[in-house]
Every structure is written in structure tokens, then in C-alpha cells.
Structure 1
Amino acid sequence: MSFISSPVDWTTWTPVIPATLMFIVKDGRILLIEKKRGLGAGKINGPGGKIDAGETPLESVMRETQEELCVLPINPRKLGELWFSMGDIPDILCHVYRADDFTGTPTETEEAVPLWYSLQSIPYQRMWEDDIHWLPLLLEDKTFLGKFVFEGDSMQWSHVETGVAW
């Protein structure tokens, strides 16, 4: 979709909501969640959420993963950023992390149902439309910056850069 010019001037774009996502990849599988409430309820994604005041992105992603799945990622590393111009909700800057191990037992909570998928059967059709553009990069352990324009649940424009230094 990035062959048309962006409807957003990314040089002056200012996110309103700082957020995080965590993807735990282990033994050829990925730990995802089915969101039970909030933005993206009913969709499949990684655990994550808004960064609280005074929190770093890493502190936030650890807290959110613990709250949503009752597990703690081991040695998480930031692989990407997602910039979302959302149209009907405030713009979001999402820090994306990957971990290859965790402690605890994935457990259903009020916010999420844990779901394991093989890396060959990720349910992109139940995820946000942008995920197929950058999640394969995370699975390849590549860094990325994704910029996306949405109207509701519909992606209108996208651009993904790889090899970004964090």
C-alpha cells in the first residue's frame, strides 16, 4: 500500500498514546492472546497495552504481559516500533518486543485468553490488518519501523522499514 503517498505527514506526526506489545516465541510456536476487552477486543494479538506515567516501555511490556497472561518474559528485546494514525482514536506509538522464553504458566485472565500457534499457522485473518506486514520480520529477529494509517479497523496506508537501530 505504500506506493501511494501517505495521507499523514510523518515528520510532524505526534503520538498521543504510548503503548507496547510482547511476542514470546519458543519451540517453533508463538504465544498470542485473544483480547477480551478494550481496543481490539475479539482480535488475536500479543499481550501489551498503554505505558503508564513514569514507566519505561520495557517496564510496561513486562507488567502488561504479567497482567494479561500471568507470565514474565525472559530477556525481552525491542525489535520494532509501530506508528498508528488511527482516525477515530488518538494516534499510537507502540514499542514491540520479542522474548524467546518466559517464567510462569500462561493463564486466562479478565483481559485475555492465551493461545499458542505454530509459526506456520499464525491466524492473521483474526489479527489487525497491519500485523502481516511486520510480524514475519519479528519472527526473523529483524528490526523494523512500521507506519500505518487506519480508519476504524481498515488499514488505508502502510510502510515498513527494516534494519532500524533501537
Structure 2
Amino acid sequence: MPFVETLVYVVKGNSVLLIRKKRGLGAGYFNGIGGKVEEGEDIISAAVRECVEEVGVKPRDLEWRGLLEFWNYEDGKVESVHFVHVFVARDFEGEVRESEEAEPTWFSIESIPYDSMWDDDKYWLPKILSGSRVYARFVFNGWRLVGGNVYELSDNALIIGRGYP
């Protein structure tokens, strides 16, 4: 039942590449580039494949920045669980292009459109983009944020935790 997924944030200077999802879970929202890890695929290969498929670029030197857990409940029962590995890439090969799945847009890090993203993003994405590594767990009911916790990692130890909202 759990899904293993990836998210990649391509950062160039003071800008980050986000996609507006065109279909599937989160359609209409801005997000990082990513998706499900396929059977027999490792998370790095999945992250690279998703970038090529969604925006036409191959990220270089992926930096693992965290693991996010998303638990979604429907009628009091677990509907889905997602374990998402988050990466940052500071370089890439190819030219950014739109696909059937995604419309890519560069944003300055200071003007990320959090009001057009998943509600949890504002709690962990700034930490990722400032160089931290995180572990976070968020609970949703019908894909509406109910609560969660974000922990910053230091040498693979949890050091700072905060509950949201």
C-alpha cells in the first residue's frame, strides 16, 4: 500500500524550478519534479527519470535532502501512505521544456508561490532550499492537511522538531 516517490528541486543561483502539475494527485499545484519509484528502480534512477520525463532535463549531482511521509485518511481509515525522498540539484543537462504532465516555471527562492502549493510545503521546503536535511511526517484527511512534524537532520540525527499547524 505505501508508495515510494521522489521530488527534485533544481536550483540555479537564487532560482528554483517548479512544475505546475497538469494531471493526477496535486493537479494545478506547483511542486518539485518527481513521481513514483518503479519496481526494481533505485531512488536516484527514479529521480533522474522523472526529471527527464517531466521537464526534459537530466539533473547532475543530486543531493539527498530528506524523507517526507504523507499519510492520507478517508472516513477514518488510511487511504494511502507516501514516502518521498527529496533531492536538490544545482546543475543539469538539456533544456527545460513543458510536457503532458508538467508546466515548468523558474521562481526566485524569495517568491515561491506557497499559496499555490500543498499546504505542508511551506513548513519544510524553505529548510531544504537553505541547505538543511529534514525528516517530516504529515497527516491529511481527504488530502487536507491536519497536522505534522518537521525535524532537521544533523549527521543523520534528529535535532530540531516542530509540529504543524
User: Does TM, normalized by the shorter one, top 0.5?
Assistant: yes
CA distance in 1, matches of 2:43, 2:131: 19
The residue type paired with residue 64 of structure 1 is E
1:137 equivalent in alignment to 2:99: no
Find 1:127's aligned residue among 102, 117, 120: 117
Q: Tell me the residue number matched to 2:37.
A: 51
User: Of 59, 79, 87, which aligns to 2:73?
Assistant: 87
| Number of the residue aligned with 1:25 | 11
Instruction: Determine the structure 2 residue equivalent to 1:157.
Output: 147
Deviations 1:101-133 (A, max 9, x none): 111111000000011000110000000000001
For the pair 1:96 / 2:82, whether they are aligned, the reply is no
Kept in 2, the 8 Å contact 1:43–1:127? The answer is: yes
Contact 1:23 1:99 in 2 (8 A): yes
- Root-mean-square deviation over aligned CA pairs: 1.3
Identity of aligned residues (%): 40
Please name the residue that 1:11 is paired with.
none
Matched length = 152
Partner residue, 1:37: 23
TM-score for the superposition, normalised by structure 2: 0.89
Q: Name the structure 2 match of 1:147.
A: 137
SS of the equivalent of 2:23 reads coil
**Aligned counterparts of 1:152 and 1:74: Cα–Cα separation in 2:** 36
Q: Could you tell me how far apart the structure 1 residues matched to 2:25 and 2:44 are?
A: 21
Cα deviation 1:73-103 (Å, max 9, x = unaligned): 1100111000011114411000000011111
Q: CA deviation at 1:43?
A: 0.5
Which structure 1 segments of 5+ residues have no match? 1-14
Question: Is the aligned partner of 1:115 residue 2:105?
Answer: yes
SS at match of 1:40: coil
Structure 1 residue matching 2:110: 3-state secondary structure: coil
Runs of 4 or more consecutive aligned structure 1 residues displaced over 6 Å after TM superposition: none
Amino acid across the alignment from 2:70: F
For residue 153 of structure 1, report the CA deviation from its aligned partner.
3.2
